[in-house]
A and B are shown apart, each in its own frame.
Chain A
């Protein structure tokens, strides 16, 4: 009791410096979210208010104009969402299967080839062939160009995550339990299903989250491997629209005269921010819940 009171007084910073520190950290923290919030608000600015007042931090009049125009491209956006969700779900499930099984196998110290297989994956962290040979394998050998698998396959193997999983299993699955299960006649599959899988939830959560963010935000694969419009992921749709907003204006004339006139009055920047908001909102709303698993993953990974 005495000690607690004591160290509060002595070790903690003074009230006045706490205020100073809190204000500085507060300013940094707020400057981390304001750019997104500002872009969010701009998506509600109407063309007329922009013409009159420019981009205000808080638009004088809120309007859903940009979102209405956005809805004209509902098919493109829906396709991009479907592609992205497919890639995230299928990709993450496969990544988890690969990472946890392989990580578990190389975590077994009694397994004769665990060291060899660890080195086999570790070497890929140190040396890579580079973009061009990888491109050739995906397009010429596996023939994945312009398929949804080109967005999934290149990111399936992540050596860092495999090492994290290995470390995790070495810490959480005692070898005595595995030995006794083997004596009882359990097969490796049973051991994995009954003993290993139930305790692997934390590592599944962490790696699943990293993989979800990774696939949701990936665009490089799409830039390399996708040339067809119906396989645009959300990120790639953003890239293509930013590179050429006329691409949309051109498409609008196909939709009808009404759409065309709307697009001519396009509040370009609000429209782009609306697209940005639509493509990020799920992740932005969910991330505060995800965050602690990243911290968890860092602590798992830091123990070698």
Chain B
């Protein structure tokens, strides 16, 4: 009895598998044009994004060159378990690095939010289309400059003989060596970051503001609401979903730091270390300056895993608030 059942099941499975293969072959034929079109990109994505994933194993070994291919070398290097991670968290600068990375991100998120929304609402309410366009174009300039270029521009302001020090001397004050004094840098970094991003940031909110139904304002105005009340009771509540989504997504990247901002703008100056040291700077320096492959890889793995978890958690929260806006 049992034997018969099994054999029919096997037969069923076999025919099902056959069916699947048949369908598969038929679909490959049917969509061969599309598959050919996508194939180069499929391969490229595999090589650039998936092939590096096994390389995360570098975090758990003491990498040694053995004159063979990379993967051979890696898998034949000595396994040291979590030693690299232990070292990462026992380092004297670990706390500083995490404090800076997370701290700056929180400041960027909140100051950025307040400034961007305020400016966006102001531009939106402003009269005169031409003036608006010109001002917005001005605000977009920094977006097109790299941090390297911005570090040059900053030099003409902050260097010992720069404009700010010239001014300080002129009014009879002591000049400041900006590149040696960390206490000014939290302010400089925040201002520079907002300065670079304001043009792009406001555009996002302005397009949302344009989508708000004008009749809401008209109705409110007829009821005697002043502009200020209209902003408080119509504009801001309607922007709230976008604000929440963008903020939560920004929180998802809380371990990321703009390498150019923290490395080039302070000219990689040693004395500024306490104010400018972040995780990404650490990953770069341990790898390319100190040549510590394992430690750098371990930091990268930690960043990727924790970053991934944060994105998953934030996405779940976003989905609870507004399913449409969630990432997946």
Contact residues of A with B, CB < 8 Å? Answer: 6-7, 10-14, 17-18, 21-22, 24-26, 28-33, 35-36, 38-39, 42, 50, 54-57, 98, 101-102, 104-106, 108, 111-113, 117, 120-122, 124, 126-137, 140-142, 153-154, 156-157, 187-189, 191-192, 213, 217-220, 223-224, 235, 238-239, 242-243, 269, 272-273, 275-276, 279-280, 283-284, 287-288, 290-291, 294-295, 298-299, 302, 304
Contact = CB atoms under 8 A, between A and B. Distances in A.
B260 A219 contact: yes
Contact of B156 (A32, A137, A273): A273
A238 B69 CA distance: 35
A110 to B, nearest CB: 9
B31 interface: yes
A11 B52 contact: no
A291 B136 CA distance: 10
Contact of B138 (A29, A105, A135): A29
Given A10-B218, A130-B300, A298 B139 contact: no
A35 B153 contact: yes
Given A29-B138, A57-B163, A156 B48 contact: yes
Contacts of B49: 124, 128, 157
Contacts of A142: 47
A132 B33 contact: no
A213 B144 contact: yes
Contacts of B145: 36, 217, 280, 284
Given A36-B141, A235-B148, A192 B51 contact: no
Nearest to A133: B55
B27 A39 contact: no
A160 B44 CA distance: 16
B141 A33 contact: yes
B218 A7 contact: yes
A284 B153 CA distance: 14
B128 interface: yes
A29 B139 contact: yes
B227 interface: yes
A13 B127 CA distance: 8
A4 to B, nearest CB: 11
Nearest to A41: B156
Interface stretch (B8-16, B95-103, B118-126): B118-126
Given A54-B166, A136-B70, 9 more contacts: A7-B218, A13-B125, A124-B49, A127-B304, A129-B53, A134-B48, A141-B51, A189-B33, A280-B149
A132 B37 contact: no
Nearest to B145: A280
B300 A298 contact: no
Contacts of B41: 98, 101-102, 157
A42 B45 contact: no
Contacts of B54: 133
A101 B35 CA distance: 10
Contact of B287 (A135, A191, A192, A302): A135
A21 B122 contact: yes
Chain B: interface size category = 35 or more
B278 interface: no
Given A98-B44, A127-B304, A132 B296 contact: yes
B80 interface: no
Interface in B1-46: 27, 30-38, 40-42, 44-45
Given A128-B49, A220-B259, A235-B148, A298 B127 contact: no
20 contacts: A13-B127, A32-B141, A33-B141, A35-B154, A36-B141, A38-B156, A105-B34, A127-B304, A128-B49, A133-B55, A136-B52, A142-B47, A157-B45, A188-B33, A188-B34, A235-B149, A238-B149, A288-B137, A295-B203, A298-B207
The main secondary structure of chain A at its interface with chain B is helix
Interface stretch (B85-93, B104-112, B180-188, B193-201): B193-201
Nearest to A45: B156
A269 B161 contact: yes
B79 interface: no
B227 to A, nearest CB: 5
A99 to B, nearest CB: 8
Contacts of B157: 35, 38
B308 A127 contact: yes
Interface string B125-147: 11110010011111111101110
A129 B304 contact: yes
Which 6 pairs show the lowest CB-CB distances between chains A and B? A188-B33, A130-B300, A133-B55, A217-B146, A140-B70, A129-B52
B301 interface: yes
A130 B152 contact: no
Contact of A131 (B34, B122, B287): B287
A240 to B, nearest CB: 10
Contacts of A141: 47, 51, 69-71
A104 B34 CA distance: 9
B199 A32 contact: yes
A33 B284 CA distance: 31
Contact of A13 (B58, B134, B142, B227): B227
Nearest to A104: B37
A25 B122 contact: yes
A129 B152 CA distance: 32
Interface string B253-285: 000000110001001100000000000000110
- Chain B CB count within 10 A is highest, among A24, A106, A140, for A140
